[in-house]
Chain A
Amino acid sequence: MAKENLVMEIKDFSFTYAGAEKPSLKKINLPIEENKITAMIGPSGCGKSTLLRAMNRIHDLYPGNKYEGKINLYKADGSKQNILDIKKENDFIKLRQEVGMIFQKPTPFPMSIFDNVAYGLRLSGIKNRSELEGRVEKALKGAAILDETKDRLKESALGMSGGQQQRLCIARAVALKPRVLLFDEPTSALDPFSTGAIEELIAELKEEVSVVIVTHNMQQASRLSDYTAFMYLGDLAEYDKTEKIFLNPTQKLTEDYITGRFG
């Protein structure tokens, strides 16, 4: 695999939660391809969410966790940065603007729809009203939610439906023009109809960003992703193109999990 197609690269990465004796992730090596969708699957407790949450260092919200190895982020200008080296608050803020995250439950802030999308933009220092308006509208359009919201931008985001709230959260993250978006089971709290809308949106997003998605839903992983990583008990058991993983996995464990024999 050629390096220039990677947006992130996880190298010999181990992670230990604060107070835990054994690492939750052991020497993970995983490439993240640019403008592709990478799915992470595996049974509960295998470490896929832990790995995802390491990729924008959201773990650092809670003290005492231990990182080892490297997670490289390749910037637009071709330079690379090991995000595990980040120590300063400002650099964390930059990292999270480049690597956004969408959570399982929709997390609208208790403010208007407009302010929700503008929140990250304001944090990044944009104060000009017309620039904010332009970026918010573009983000809402990008998250396929502009038509539903353009007449109620001043209303509270808490009054939206769950599926709309999740798309609003995606719009909020997209507004910052990140290089990578991390999705942590983004549809498991939603009905099938909203799930379809979100999946469609994620598929469109890969034109602009690289996507990593953790999911418990095998169909979702196979429908959506270009690459799939199967994780088991803190190890990366298998990684390959999604078709290969789902049609012809090299490992028996992967096959058993995908066909529903355990998990």
Chain B
Amino acid sequence: MNRLLLNKIILILSTLSAVIGIGFLFWILATLSYKGITSIHWSTFTHDLVKGGIRNLLVGQFTMAILASALAVPVGMMAGIYLREYGHGSKLASVIRNLSDVMMSAPSIVIGVFVFALLVDPFGGYNGYAGIVALSIMMIPIIISTTDNMLALVPKELREAGIALGGSKHKIILQIVVKAAKVGITTGVLLSFARIIGETAPLLFTSANNQFFTMDLTGQFPSLTVSIYNLATYPDEASRELAWAASFILTMIVLCINLIGRYAIRNKK
């Protein structure tokens, strides 16, 4: 009797917790959709921030995220390949792996401060390059760990089979092992891209923000996330509406990239 009662209580409690968690998520999404969709106009996409739109912000945010990926993906993948294929079992590799794991949970504002001291202060002002570097520092540890873990899933027999056909180690790694882990690594890249496209703290005082359309990375660079932060604090209704619209659009972008990433995994496995 007692056991059945306990079973019921735990079932109810865990269901309740799940409902509360999901409830908040839907609350956020519902508020965001309601306020966001009603605030979106055609001009939101065609005008720059200075005229009440987010065109320059979207272009700026994507430019920085894409360039950050161009920096982080090769570095992260090569580091991951080193950890799994060459440094396996060595002391250096285990130190790097641990450091990289620690870096993954480093507060993003700290990375922002670090890049500020490195690339903003000495060069006399906020600039797009600093934002790109800050984002790629966030991204590299994620790529390292994905590459490392995905290569670990490739059976060692596949490497041996390549060697047994007369291949050299680097050819086998590049032509067979990485290819076998391709889907997992691509997914990791997509998910880490989704992660950095929505980051604010690393950009706040590195690239800062720009009201105007620009592709000049040496100056302040337009950012969607930093704009949301700024707009939400302005007193006027129009600014706050634009913040809602921008938040909704950003959420949809992140959601889409995540779904593509997850879909890719399921489809290819």
- At the interface, yes or no: B182 with Cβ under 8 Å from chain A? yes
For the complex, give the distance between the alpha carbons of A103 and B159 in Å.
11
- At the interface, yes or no: B16 with Cβ under 8 Å from chain A? no
Closest to A94 in B: B166
- At the interface, yes or no: A58 with Cβ under 8 Å from chain B? yes
Please tell me which one of the listed residues A61, A105, A109, A176 contacts residue B163 in the complex, with CB atoms under 8 A apart. Answer: A61
List B174-191 residues whose CB lies under 8 Å from chain A. Answer: 175-176, 179-180, 182
B166 CB contacts on chain A under 8 angstroms: 93-94, 96-97, 120, 123-124, 176
In the complex, the answer to whether A172 meets B179 with C-beta atoms within 8 Å is no
Chain A CB within 10 Å, residue with most, of B157, B158, B161, B169: B161
In the complex, the answer to whether A172 meets B163 with C-beta atoms within 8 Å is no
Mark each residue of chain B from 52 to 88: 1 if its CB lies under 8 Å from any CB of chain A, else 0: 0000000000000000000000000000000000000
B residues contacting the other copy or chain, number (CB 8 A) = 20
A residues contacting the other copy or chain, number (CB 8 A) = 25
For the complex, give the distance between the alpha carbons of A100 and B164 in Å.
6
Chain B CB within 10 Å, residue with most, of A58, A97, A123: A123
Please tell me which one of the listed residues B160, B161, B171, B180 contacts residue A123 in the complex, with CB atoms under 8 A apart. Answer: B171
CB distance from B153 to the nearest CB of A (A): 12
- At the interface, yes or no: A107 with Cβ under 8 Å from chain B? yes
Please tell me which one of the listed residues B157, B175, B180 contacts residue A105 in the complex, with CB atoms under 8 A apart. Answer: B157
Chain B at the A interface: SS class: helix
In the complex, the answer to whether B159 meets A111 with C-beta atoms within 8 Å is no
In the complex, the answer to whether A103 meets B160 with C-beta atoms within 8 Å is yes
In the complex, the answer to whether B165 meets A123 with C-beta atoms within 8 Å is yes
For the complex, give the distance between the alpha carbons of A176 and B164 in Å.
11
B175 CB contacts on chain A under 8 angstroms: 109, 119
Query: Provided the pairs A58-B160, A103-B160, A169-B161 are in contact, do residues A110 and B167 lie with their beta carbons within 8 angstroms?
Result: no
For the complex, give the distance between the alpha carbons of A119 and B174 in Å.
13
List A41-60 residues whose CB lies under 8 Å from chain B. Answer: 56, 58
For the complex, give the distance between the alpha carbons of A206 and B180 in Å.
33
For the complex, give the distance between the alpha carbons of A56 and B182 in Å.
29
- At the interface, yes or no: B219 with Cβ under 8 Å from chain A? no
A105 CB contacts on chain B under 8 angstroms: 155, 157
- At the interface, yes or no: B2 with Cβ under 8 Å from chain A? no
In the complex, the answer to whether B164 meets A58 with C-beta atoms within 8 Å is yes
B163 CB contacts on chain A under 8 angstroms: 58, 61, 96
Closest to B156 in A: A61
Given contacts A97-B165, A120-B165, 17 further A-B contacts (CB under 8 A): A58-B160, A58-B163, A94-B166, A101-B160, A103-B161, A105-B155, A107-B157, A107-B160, A109-B180, A110-B179, A111-B179, A119-B162, A120-B166, A123-B165, A123-B166, A124-B166, A172-B165
Residues of A within 8 A of B (CB): 56, 58, 61, 89, 93-94, 96-97, 100-101, 103-105, 107, 109-111, 119-120, 123-124, 169, 172-173, 176
Residues of B within 8 A of A (CB): 155, 157-169, 171, 175-176, 179-180, 182
